[in-house]
Each structure stands twice: as C-alpha cells, then as structure tokens.
Structure 1
Amino acid sequence: MSTQTASQSHYFDSIAVVGELIRQRDLSPVELVTSCLERINELQSRLNAFITVAPESALSAAKAAETEIQQGQWKGPLHGVPIGIEDFYDTARMRTTAGFEHFRDRIPKKDATAVEKLKRAGAIVIGKTNMHTLGMGTTGLESAFGPVRNPRNVDYIAGGSSSGSAAAVASGMCFATLDTDAIGSCRLPASCCGIVGFKGTYGLISPSGILDGEKDPGEMTRWFNHPGIMARRVQDVAIVLDVLAERSQKESAGYLGAMRKDVNLRVGVTNNFEADHEVRQAFHVAVEKIHALGYSTFSAQAPLRHPANDVTRIETDRNGSQVDRRRGIS
C-alpha cells in the first residue's frame, strides 16, 4: 500500500475519494491518520477543537485497518478514515466530559451505540471534540476546556454547542464527526464554519451511550438531543448515515443511493425576519445560489414575531413530549 507525504495530504478530500483510494490500496490509513494528527498538532493551540486527542489508539486502529484491507477485508468507504466524536458520546477507555468540569476524569467502560457502529465500519476515532458545556449554548465559548475558535476567522465564534466538531471538520483535522442536535447544536456551528450539519429525526440514530449512567443531566440529554453528523459534503454525511441509521436490512439502497435520484425541490424563502443588513445580503446570495443549482423558490412568510425564541420554544416543547412519551407519561 503506497503512502502519501504530508505535502500530498488529503485533508480536504471527500470521504468518497479517500475511501476509494484506501480500497484501491493507493492510500494508507496509517499515513492518512498521521496526516490528520499532524494537522491537529498544527492547529489545536489556535482552534481548541479537541478536548482529547488519541494518537496511540488511532494509529493502532489504522494499522489494523491497513492489514484488513491488504487481506481483502475492506468494510466500506469509512474503513481507515479518521473521524471525531463529540465529547457527549461515551467512548471506551477514553474520557467523556461533555465539556463539564465535573466530568473531567470520567472514563466510560464501553462505547456508545453509534460509536460502536462507526468502529465496526472501520472508521478511526482520532479524538473527542470540544463543546459548549453540557450542550447548553450556541457560541462554543463556554467549555471547561476553553473556547473553540472558528477556523475561517478566529475572531468569530464557531457556533454551538458542537463547536469543536465544526472547527475540526472545517479545518481538515478529520473527515466527519458524530454530534448531537436539539435546537441547532449541530446545524448552527456547521453553518458558522461553512460545512454540512445534519440533524436526524427521532429514532434514526441511536442516542444510547450519551453520558450513560449519568441520571442528571445524562437522561434528559439523551432524549432532548438528536444524534447528528457533520462533514464537508452532503455525500459524506450520507456515507456516515448509511452506517449509523437504525433501519431494517430489508430497506433499500440507503442514503448514498438516494442521492443519485433526481430531486424536485422547492425552497420556501422568508423575508419577514429581523436581521442586520450584512446578514440579509448573505441570505440573498444564498437564495441566488439555490436558483443557480436549478431549484425553485417560493415566498413563505413565517407567522412568528420573534422567530429565534418561538422556534426554540416549539423545539423544546416537542422534545419534552418525546421525553414524556418514552417515560410513559401521557
């Protein structure tokens, strides 16, 4: 299996591209992980994207992946690809803190279900990403392990609560991350850092193993937060979702396969929100890009006076009803 030097790095390639190079044995998982570790070493002090970096276990897993692939046991496009895990998810023998001082030395005995699935697919966990303490914030500035900075401009916030994941993916430290999202914790930082954030619907990805055994705040967190994914491309999110989705084996080709279908998409555009001039300009540029991609738009005035507060209230009420339903409370 050939190797690549750091100068020939694949930091910003898609998972589909590096996955195929690995499958063809034109790229070594060990070299790919090494390059990402070098990238982390270069940028971590400036961005603070990770709480824990795991070079030894990541390189060990990469060597195992390389051996498996050489023996014809390729597991799929994530095999040998470095990913990050938001520090909400339990990882066996690797601390899980939720950005909370009280959990600084908390080391779980087993992996969360979603983490276990990713490992079975051959993904390499390179570390645990920083986050707003207990997921309770939108800036990424409040963590027991220090604030996260936006890789596009360190004077800007990275968003939150999954701030470290967005910074890590956007800066090429890893190719995707496993995250959580209740009312924007995955999508907001993805938007701030210019990548893709995906919030799964209830039941699509297992939340089992988010602060497992911690009744408070762990129990409430598990049901309020939807597991989510961040990556640099929609295609990469689909690849990860194909591994994580809790669906019957009888179901179809999967999310990556569905991307090959034509989509007749109409996008609702609202103009009755209060926003600064700069924000409105960026919004209109985004609408123009939607048109350029061949999609149509229509006016959809939202009946909300203070949309951020109203949407947050709606999401919170809905999430609370899910908690009650799971507890058997009508």
Structure 2
Amino acid sequence: MNDLSLMTARELGKYIKGKQLSPVELTKHMLQRIRQMDGTLRTYITPLEELAIIQAKDAENKIMKGEYLGPLHGIGVGIKDNKFTKGIRTTDGSKLFADFFPSESATVVNKLLHGGVIMLGKQNMHELAAGSTGTNPFFGTTRNPWNLEYMPGGSSGGGTASLAAGLATLATGSDTFGSIRLPASMCGVYGLKPTYGLVSTFRVFPSAWSLDTVGPMARSVGDLAIMLQVMAGYDPNDPAILRVPLPNYSEAIHNDIKGIKIGIPTYYVKGLDEDIAMLFRRAVVQLQYLGAEVKELEIPELEMSTFSGYLTVGSEAAAFHNEWLKTHPEDYSPDIRSFFLAGSLMEGRKYVQAQQARRRMVQAFEKAFQEVDMLLGPTIPIKTPKFQANWVKQNLDVVKRTLPFTVPVNLTGVPALAVPMGIDSNGLPAGMQFIGRHLSEQQLLQVGNAWEQLNPLQFKLRAETDNKTL
C-alpha cells in the first residue's frame, strides 16, 4: 500500500470498504502528518483531532457492522473556514469572527457528514474569502508546499495546499471570483467550480451573493466526482438552489474525448507569462492527440469581465459588511478594507450596468456553446508569485492580474474545472480551466479525467522534453 497521505479517496475507499484499512488508522496517520508539517504550512486554522478520532471510530464501527455509507466513508476532509460547523469555531479567516461558534452547520457540511467523512479541521483561507494570495495576518499565511517562498493562492489556499502536502485527502472550497480554481492552479491540484445554485451555500459566509459557489477540491478528478455527488442537490433553505435531477457524475468519467469540441477564446491567450503560454500551447496539442477538436473563438463580451467583476463583488461584499466597516474598521486588513470601502462607494447606476454586462456575457457564452462543447483557457495568466514584503500591494496586484481570467465563469454562473497543465520554470505548477455550459459538470469531469491520465505534473519546460512529449 502506498503512502496513505497521498492516496486518492477512491484508492483509500477500496481498502476501507474491503476492511483492509481502518478509518481510525488512516485518521491517526493524517493527524500525525498535520502535527508534523502544519506549523510551517499553516493550512489549518482549527485542527479537530479529538472530533476526527471520534468520527473515525464511529465510521469504523459502522463499516464493521456492514453499514457502509459510500465512497467517502472514513475519508479525511478539510473544511474551508467560511462554512458553518455546529459548535466549532468558524472564522471566515477574519479577526471579526475569531470567536464565532455557530449553532448549526452549513448544508454542505451536513451532506458530507451524512456521507461518512472525517472532519480533520477547519482550513485556512484568505481573509473573508476576498483575496487571491492566501495571505492572512490574523491566522498565519499559508505556504505553498512546492516552495515555501511562494504563495498557494486564495481564497481556498489552505485546502489546496493541504492536498498538495498530503494533509487532507479531500477539501472543500468556495469560488466567488476564482477562489477554488486559482489556488488549485498554484498548488497543482484539481478543483471544480460548479454551476451556480447546484451546491447549497446555506450557512456559508457570503462574499457576493449572486456569485458565491461551493465546490470540491482533490488530487484527482475522480475524487471530485464522488464529492460532488454528495455535495450537490436541492436545499429548501437556499433561495438560489436549483431543483434539478443529478446525474451519476462518475458514470462516464472514463469515456474517451474523441470528437469533443473545445473552443479557446482569444481573450484567454492575451497577456500570458511566457511559461504559461508555452505550457498552454503544449496542452492544446495534447488534447488534440486525445481526439478533441480544438478551435479559437472570438468572444468580445469577455472584455467586460473586469468592470463587471469588480463592481459586483465589491458592491455585494460592501453591503454585507456595511455595519462592521463602520464599527470595526480596524478588524480588517488594509487590502480587504480598501476593497470593501471602494465597493461601498459604488453608485447604483454602475452596479446596474455591471449586471447588464453580465447578461450580455451570458448570451455570448450561450452563442459560443452552439459551436463547441466547452471552452478552455489558462486558469490565470501568471506564474505563481513569490511572497513580497509589501503584501498589501501584492494582494491587490495579484487580484488585478488574475480576476479577468477567473471571474467570467462566476459572472455567467457556468461551471469550470481547474486542472494542472504542467510545471513552470520555477518548479511550481500552473493550471488551466475547462469551462462548460450550465449543468455540464459530468462532461467536464470526463474531459478532465482524460487529461489527468497524461500525468500533467510530470511535464517539463525543457525543449528536449517537449519534443519527446509531442
């Protein structure tokens, strides 16, 4: 049996179901690894050692009695700390909520618990889920396991870094303007931003109501599929939830992708760092080798993404934080405070214009999906940056560079799957995202799984390796 901490949930689940691996043994192994490494990586705000052992013993007892709950039973999960957990501190990565203990759990947490998961802890995140670097002056800044001098991305950086380091088997994220996909890219893992309304956001701290989504993160596409199966579904407590039948997300995951039409908006190939451009060009060739049909598309409406994204996120976040900004301004870090205060100054006229731009982008995507099955682009246009001393300015700069690439998916409500596409010249991962029409998660997972079989993180930037690969 391989190192337990780096195995996928599907691999571990086979051993657990067959009673060859004890959930208690697995959980103790993961907790020991967290104790050894997380003082440096800071992927958890609140580890839950005692609770995790209790849950693991309960899982083991059920399994021994033949009460197996499914592929997540006995598997360790990290819970992003913006999701309410009953009786367990839930900070949203913020000083404002450092002592908040909810009286009930988020719907998505309850769904996962009913599936038999073990909660390893509440995971670190960029403050209030409103940044892209993983910097947190209140609970410690998460480090990228590939190189501690580099950022893990945000806001779900605690989850993606824990996956990359083997401090969790699965993790939950949220994505308002890229917070699952961006850190997945920087840490070399897989993350799914579902269709808006597919997964309940009830009792999840809001960032921007009309954009917030909750989704799974893992070290394999197959694990995303089994997580989504449990996380998705109708919730009467969430007014934005979709009432739709759920497919079996794992059913077609091993199908080939011959004949699938993938469009590359020219918007996504502008202004790329050299390494990102090189890796993306090679990824396109690899997808064609797998049988996909790839073509470039013009979607000029995407140029409205930055305008609409800043106004929508800033305005809605400022509305939620209005009173706290007045009464506790010192409890916000400078970058988040300035972002929210700018949002509070937005005119209603500008907000309406931003929503009109969103509508035009939705229509443009619908038109594009008449030509192709899905879209593809780099997740972000830049290589993972090193941490800088002036972290406030860096946080704002990273958002400025990356938001145009991630926020179109949020503004239009469509799903997107973030996958690694290779290693850059600094030895860190880079990623790309498959973007689908509404409720096309099953097809995205199918294509993502085919891509995963190429083992993208083994790719190198050396020209001789490129020639051998292609």
State the match for 2:94 in structure 1. 100
1:266 aligns with 2:253: no
Alpha-carbon distance change, 33 to 307 in structure 1, aligned in 2, over 3 angstroms: farther
State the match for 2:229 in structure 1. 242
Point out the more displaced range, 191-200 or 247-256.
247-256
Asked whether the 8 Å contact 1:52–1:95 carries over to 2, the reply is yes
CA distance in 1: counterparts of 2:260 and 2:411, whole angstroms? 31
1:225 aligns with 2:217: no
How does 1:120-199 map onto structure 2 within 5 Å? Answer: 120-199=114-193
State the match for 2:49 in structure 1. 55
CA distance in 2: counterparts of 1:83 and 1:141, whole angstroms? 22
CA distance in 1: counterparts of 2:111 and 2:157, whole angstroms? 23
CA distance in 1: counterparts of 2:34 and 2:216, whole angstroms? 20
State the match for 1:111 in structure 2. 105
How does 1:25-40 map onto structure 2 within 5 Å? Answer: 25-40=19-34
What code does the residue aligned with 1:297 have? V
Alpha-carbon distance change, 302 to 130 in structure 1, aligned in 2, over 3 angstroms: same
CA distance in 1: counterparts of 2:185 and 2:253, whole angstroms? 21
Alpha-carbon distance change, 304 to 157 in structure 1, aligned in 2, over 3 angstroms: farther
Alpha-carbon distance change, 315 to 78 in structure 1, aligned in 2, over 3 angstroms: farther
SS of the residue aligned with 1:125? strand
Q: CA shift at 1:260, angstroms?
A: 4.2
Deviations 1:32-63 (A, max 9, x none): 11111112112212211111100000011000
Point out the more displaced range, 223-232 or 303-312.
303-312
Alpha-carbon distance change, 186 to 252 in structure 1, aligned in 2, over 3 angstroms: closer
State the match for 1:75 in structure 2. 69
CA distance in 1: counterparts of 2:285 and 2:411, whole angstroms? 37
TM-score of the pair, normalised by structure 2: 0.61
Asked whether the 8 Å contact 1:210–1:221 carries over to 2, the reply is no
Structure 2's unaligned 5+ residue stretches are 235-241, 314-354, 359-409, 414-470
Point out the more displaced range, 165-174 or 249-258.
249-258
Q: CA shift at 1:110, angstroms?
A: 1.5
Point out the more displaced range, 188-197 or 291-300.
291-300
SS of the residue aligned with 1:224? coil
What code does the residue aligned with 2:261 have? R
Q: CA shift at 1:275, angstroms?
A: 2.0
Deviations 1:153-210 (A, max 9, x none): 2222111111101101111111111111011011110011111111111221110011
Q: Determine which of 274, 279, 290 is the counterpart of 1:277.
A: 274
Deviations 1:272-302 (A, max 9, x none): 4112222212222332332343322111244
- Supply the RMSD in Å over aligned alpha carbons: 2.6
SS of the residue aligned with 1:11? helix
Point out the more displaced range, 132-141 or 295-304.
295-304
CA distance in 2: counterparts of 1:305 and 1:207, whole angstroms? 26
Asked whether the 8 Å contact 2:163–2:171 carries over to 1, the reply is yes
CA distance in 1: counterparts of 2:308 and 2:275, whole angstroms? 22
State the match for 1:326 in structure 2. none
State the match for 1:327 in structure 2. none
CA distance in 1: counterparts of 2:307 and 2:74, whole angstroms? 43
What code does the residue aligned with 1:50 have? Y
Alpha-carbon distance change, 122 to 305 in structure 1, aligned in 2, over 3 angstroms: closer
1:20 aligns with 2:14: yes
Q: Structure 1 vs Structure 2: percent identity of aligned residues?
A: 36
Q: Determine which of 78, 81, 102 is the counterpart of 1:84.
A: 78
| Bigger share in helix | 2
Deviations 1:294-315 (A, max 9, x none): 3221112443796872573597
Number of residue pairs the alignment of both structures matches: 309
CA distance in 2: counterparts of 1:305 and 1:73, whole angstroms? 50
CA distance in 1: counterparts of 2:170 and 2:123, whole angstroms? 11
State the match for 1:293 in structure 2. 290
SS of the residue aligned with 1:246? coil
Asked whether the 8 Å contact 1:183–1:312 carries over to 2, the reply is yes
Asked whether the 8 Å contact 1:210–1:222 carries over to 2, the reply is no
State the match for 1:215 in structure 2. none
State the match for 1:328 in structure 2. none
Largest Rg, 1 or 2: 2
CA distance in 2: counterparts of 1:52 and 1:22, whole angstroms? 26
TM-score of the pair, normalised by structure 1: 0.86
SS of the residue aligned with 1:286? helix
Asked whether the 8 Å contact 2:208–2:312 carries over to 1, the reply is no
Q: CA shift at 1:9, angstroms?
A: 3.0
Asked whether the 8 Å contact 1:166–1:230 carries over to 2, the reply is yes
